[in-house]
Amino acid sequence: MLQSSFLTDLLATITNRSQHTSVTRDTRPIEELCKVLLSDIGDVSANKVARAILEKYRRMDTDQRAGFFRHLAEDFDIDPDTVVALARQYGQTHATADLAALTAHAEPRRQEILRRLNRVPGATADLVAMRCDLFDAIRADPALARIDLDFAHLFGSWFNPGFLVLRRINWTSPANILEKIIAYEAVHAIDSWDALRLRLLPEDRQCFAYFHPCMPEEPLIFVEVALTNGIPGNIQSVLAEDRAATPADKRDTAVFYSISNCQAGLRGISFGNALIKHVVDDLSASLPQLKTFVTLSPIPGFRGWIDGILEALPKIEADSLRTALVHASAGPDKANDKINDKSVEKSTETLRRYIAHYLVNEKRPKGGPANAVARFHLGNGAIVQDVHPHGDMSDNGLRTSYGAMVNYLYDPARIDRNIEGFTTTGAVATSRTIASLLKSAPITASKADS
């Protein structure tokens, strides 16, 4: 069940809002304050110094913040010579004291600065925002990337899924939370409050978000769920304004149709895996009639890939594929006069084969599926269930994938086995439908060149 209550949310919100009630004006330079923060001062004094550092940082401009990051990188780094000497010492003795000394010196001192800053109420959100500034600074000075290793290491612990709170977002949630759902939606844009209401108010629509106790008004990631009868093959039917709600006794499928990360400063910190599993468990407990858990996912990058291989294909194959792409871009409603045309059916099946091939067989140079969304779901134990031309006929869907979408199936009985196969050998779990499409594998650019 959901790990949240009105009282705990209220207390966390009060704590969050009180974070900046005490303003500390310290005239010492921020560089000096960082050294003081690392010294053996009491907790009360350390909190005052930490507050002063955070307040000074908030008032800095872009160049000043870049200078602060350079200070952290250069003056609070490890001493490689000392680390090497301590490593050799431990290698000879394997003594606990020598290991402790090595561990202490192998960690950059700036990590302890970040830890002590985080002791200030509300500072977690400040540090997440600070990492966003660091990303900008790294683009101008790549040497600062070593600081991000410290942020990523600490955030990986602080934002461990075991610390997170799952909350259902509905039409009665606080307005400031609802505004953020609109702003952070990254897959299917929400352009009005009426559009948001259609995603949250009907009984066959649900939304869940992860929150951190130190950031109770900031969703970290959220997923939108449609409760349907059967597996949908396009997002238009899911988001249609005039659709009829699925009757309660007909809801047998939970469709995860949008997953959005909310905090840019938490890039690289994975929540999606835990969120999906948590929501599946909660829905299974509260709605036992649900038998199927699938996504309706975009395929970003598919259009660029298929455009890139067209010229390398044999003419007959390329012409069939171009026909399918024109038909996909027009949409089924605009091509009803050809819907039974054998050439259109054949070309559409050709496109389905290419979509399946792209998701399962196309790899990155360093391994793993070329498509980032596929890597995410397959790495979490999902099955490539089915592919759909005309799945997303929005401008964004056509621009990124010629409108194609894919269902990934989460079968609780197979998740662990799928994860093991994917992580150890790169094996991609597929349904019989996808396996059948792959039997008549399309001619890829690499094959055409050979």
Domains of the chain are 22-158 (1.20.140.90), 162-295 (3.40.630.180), 298-449 (3.40.630.150)
pTM of the model: 0.87
Q: Long-range contact list for 279-288, CB < 8 A, 24+ apart?
A: 279/166, 279/208, 279/223, 279/225, 280/254, 280/410, 280/412, 282/1, 282/2, 282/166, 282/208, 283/206, 283/225, 283/254, 285/1, 286/1, 287/227, 287/251, 287/254
Amino acid (1-letter code) at residue 311: E
Question: What number of CA atoms fall less than 13 Å from residue 395's CA on the CB side?
Answer: 1
Alpha carbon 19 to its chain centroid, in Å, reads: 28
Determine which helix (DSSP H) or strand (DSSP E) holds 173, and give its type and residue range. none
The pLDDT profile of the chain, 450 residues, written as one tens digit per residue, is 454 444 445 445 545 544 444 556 889 999 999 999 999 888 899 999 999 999 999 999 999 999 999 999 999 999 999 999 999 999 999 999 999 999 999 999 999 999 999 999 999 999 999 999 999 999 999 999 999 999 999 999 999 999 999 999 999 999 999 999 999 999 999 999 999 999 999 999 999 999 999 999 999 999 999 999 999 999 999 999 999 999 999 999 999 999 999 999 999 998 888 999 999 999 999 999 999 999 999 999 999 999 999 988 888 888 888 888 998 888 666 544 444 566 677 778 889 999 999 999 999 999 999 999 999 999 999 999 999 999 999 999 999 999 999 999 999 899 999 999 999 999 999 999 999 999 976 665 444 444
Residues with Cβ within 8 Å of 382's Cβ and at least 6 positions away in sequence, in order, are 295, 408, 409, 410, 415, 418, 429
Rg (alpha carbons) of the chain, rounded to whole number: 26
**In angstroms, rounded to a whole number, what is the distance separating the alpha carbons of residues 311 and 297?**
28
Do residues 294 and 253 touch, judged by C-beta distance below 8 A?
Answer: yes
Alpha carbon 234 to its chain centroid, in Å, reads: 22
**In angstroms, rounded to a whole number, what is the distance separating the alpha carbons of residues 130 and 222?**
22
> Following DSSP, what letter does each residue of 408-434 receive, concatenated?
EE--TTTHHHHHHHHHHH----B-HHH
**In angstroms, rounded to a whole number, what is the distance separating the alpha carbons of residues 14 and 386?**
47
DSSP β-bridge partners for residue 363: 369
Question: Residue 390: left if φ>0, alpha if ψ -120 to 50, beta else—which one?
Answer: left
From the CB of residue 5, how many other CB atoms can be counted at a distance below 10 Å? 11
User: What are the Cα distances from residue 302, in Å, to 207, 299, 401, 431?
Assistant: 28, 6, 5, 20
